[in-house]
Amino acid sequence: MSNILHTSLNISLRRFTPNDASFIFDLLNSPTWKQFIGDRNILTPGDAVNYILNVLTPIYIQYGFGPWLVVLNNTHEAIGLCGLFKRDYLDRPDLGFAFMPGFEGRGLAYEACRAALTYIIQQYPIDKLYATTSDGNLRSQRLLERCGFAISGSVTPPGCNALLLYTLNLK
């Protein structure tokens, strides 16, 4: 699968494919994913393939965007995801990101988010983005603020606890 975005520094971004199931399995079962995002019941490699096919791929098909796999340029190692989600409870897409343990604090999430935002502005007619995070996820809050998002309230997704809602005007 070809990259949709290649930064001049460290990373490339591309769409997920079923071949990324092993990475999805590891990411969605990482302690920080489960703590801050929630358990997606990805218990087997087959569940990870189904997640890609039934959750991620339909976003690409319906909206033309979605979450992208973040890969290190020098080693081609998958390290995270960053991209757009469309939630039923929000009227605009939201920027989501998550990285494997061991890749925090190295500027890679910031690099991925900034690159994704530049790509989004160039490729999609979106005037405003949202991002959500839990109240206790200070690292994500700082990253969103560093990327220009401002806290604008809270939102409670169906069946979930309230999340902080951040907004970024793109136009």
Residue 148: pLDDT above 60? yes
Average pLDDT over residues 83-91: 94
96-140 tens-digit pLDDT: 999 999 898 889 999 999 999 999 999 999 999 999 999 999 999
What are the residue ranges spanned by the domains of the chain?
Answer: 5-125
Residue 27 DSSP code? H
Q: Is 52:22 a contact under the CB 8 Å cutoff?
A: no
What are the residues facing 128 on neighbouring strands? Answer: 169
| pLDDT tens, position by position, 36-63 | 898 899 999 999 999 999 999 999 999 9
Fold assignment, 5-125: Aminopeptidase (3.40.630)
pLDDT at 2: 61
Percent of the chain scored above 70 by pLDDT? 96
Question: At 26, which amino acid appears?
Answer: D
